[in-house]
Structure 1
């Protein structure tokens, strides 16, 4: 039985005509073409996709009309990811503040005041973190007006992880400008970050903010590829849309590796925590990472974000769910519904905070 064959409320119950409902169902069927329709989790996600699409039908239906840029690949053959990082792209060094922050994080004798002192030297980051801790993301009952107070309330490791993620996001704020929708890219990344943290909380995992950072940076390799090899990136997008295959599969076919590998290499070079690096490197193949939960959480969060229509590109396909990742998390389909509760409002809040 396919997704569209399963009973779903009739159009009148959702205030739309049957023709609109049929278009939404057709769109969601295409979005879930690689998902296992008999898997209970896929069924929950499919119904979730329908609900979110019906909230804004015009926007939902408009997305697939995007057509790939017609380009010719004059640089045939695979690409060495090291060439991307060390050659055309010239991978930048992390800001001095981030390097200092990493040292403080890794020093067992450092204190909250040490972290606050490092962060406070960067006015932009300080202002951002204060906006963040006073947002619905944390929902503290009273205003927090100093970095030292923010570190004390949020926690040294948690705030430090957030600072690292935001610093990298800032470095790639204009990645691939003019070649792809950078705002859509970061909306998807933020959504995966928030969903990752919520899933980690439902699973009772420690330091859930670390999972937010993994989700926020999971597609960083794609931004890097668009920046370093824009023609190759356009060819990849063209191939994915013409063949109707996931973007990461098109990446492997065109350049010989996918964005997850490139992103993992970048974070490794920057000495990010190994668990965060693994979360990015294996988010499409979580089976490869037995020791870390991050790839499993980000894998499911990425699927959920794409299911509800928050995608980084015109390629709208929901990746197939890894049964291994799902079992490792120890969650139920009901947990996904709990994660969805209030998600729309939280996402809008975080978009306003992070995408100013």
Structure 2
């Protein structure tokens, strides 16, 4: 059986050993898909998981969100962090917690999560400058855009080491090397995994096309472009590590998004300045409950 077929079997087979998301995460995904979900609804879902509640309240009080007044309820934490963002962070925490202690991985999961936080941070900055209407929606797909790499690393350790070696020796991006050796890249795998878990299209499609944004459905093209460029800027800022041997973005990405060179440099410097806050964000969200 070819590697691609084995990968697809793991993701698509109902009785596979992929991590099963807790009920609270299933409920959060349903909440993310329902436009009628209120802050009260979301607070009620999260409050059923005390560990998650405590982490999110602690995160809302962190220097990353710079609140003057103490946050002491999950409802207030939602208003501070943001409705969509808190869903993405909760999802990311649960998914990451299932693999953080796995040994022998070709990718450093902690460095990958810090990279994801960096990309989410940069994506919000890019959205504010170029398309403010999507600022609240971009954080979640940006944070989770590399989820496919987690599956490659955990379930195909030896083969993914070969992919990384190929990328390093040939100075090629990781997604390119994955397609050469696996005939499937981490963006496509992320979308398959998110589909299995019933994520909404607003999260799936920007992730699916973050390395080929111009192939994205028009409704999600700008989000995919933003994640593509934010990924590049986060690598240039050396924030975490995505496994890529070289930072790469599509041709003329800044122009297509509507941003200039000086603004990009400003975002890189902002990410570097935010490193302590991003590392605190990482520490809180990955702490053992």
Give the corresponding residue for 1:202: 129
- Structure 2: tracts of 5 or more residues without a match: none
Q: 2:72 aligns with which of 140, 145, 152?
A: 145
Q: Is the 8 A contact 1:158 1:209 kept in 2?
A: yes
Out of 269-278 and 172-181, give the one that drifted further: 172-181
Q: Unaligned regions of 5+ residues in structure 1, if any?
A: 1-74
* In the alignment, structure 1 residue 337 sits paired with structure 2 residue 262: no
Question: Which residue of 2 is the match for residue 170 of structure 1?
Answer: 97
Residue 133 of structure 1: how far off its partner (Å)? 1.3
Deviation at 1:155, TM superposition (A): 4.4
1:214-253 correspondence runs (5 A): 214-253=141-180
Structure 1 equivalent of residue 223 of structure 2 = 294
- Shift, 1:237, TM fit: 1.3
Aligned equivalent of 2:10: 84
Quick one: distance in 2 between partners of 1:297 and 1:282?
11
Cα distance, 1:173 vs structure 2: 2.9
Instruction: Give, in angstroms, the shift of residue 125 of structure 1.
Output: 1.2
Q: Which moved more, 1:303-312 or 1:213-222?
A: 303-312
CA distance in 2 between counterparts of 1:328 and 1:170 reads 36
Aligned residues: 280
Greater CA radius of gyration, 1 or 2? 1
2:212 corresponds to which of 285, 298, 305: 285
Q: Name the structure 1 match of 2:50.
A: 123
Q: Would the alpha carbon gap of residues 337 and 156 (structure 1) be closer, same or farther in structure 2, given more than 3 Å must change? A: same
Matched, 1:260 2:203: no
Distance 2:210 2:89 in 1: 19
| Structure 1 position 180 matched with structure 2 position 107 | yes
Q: What TM-score results when the alignment is normalised by the length of structure 2?
A: 0.86
Q: Which runs of 4+ in 1 moved over 6 A?
A: none
Kept in 1, the 8 Å contact 2:104–2:157? The answer is: no
Q: Distance in 2 between matches of 1:151 and 1:313?
A: 28
Q: State how 1:25-64 maps to structure 2 within 5 Å.
A: none
User: Secondary structure of the equivalent of 1:291?
Assistant: helix
Shift of 1:109: 4.4
Tell me by how many angstroms 1:171 deviates. 3.5
TM-fit CA distance, 1:310: 3.3
Give the TM-score normalised by the residue count of structure 1.
0.71
Supply the distance in 2 between the matched residues of 1:313 and 1:331 (Cα, whole angstroms).
24
Cα deviation digits, residues 56-91 of structure 1 (max 9, x gap): xxxxxxxxxxxxxxxxxxx8x542231231469633
Per the TM alignment, residue 114 of structure 1 is displaced from its structure 2 partner at its CA by: 1.8
CA distance in 2, matches of 1:78, 1:204: 39
Q: Deviation of residue 226 (structure 1)?
A: 1.1
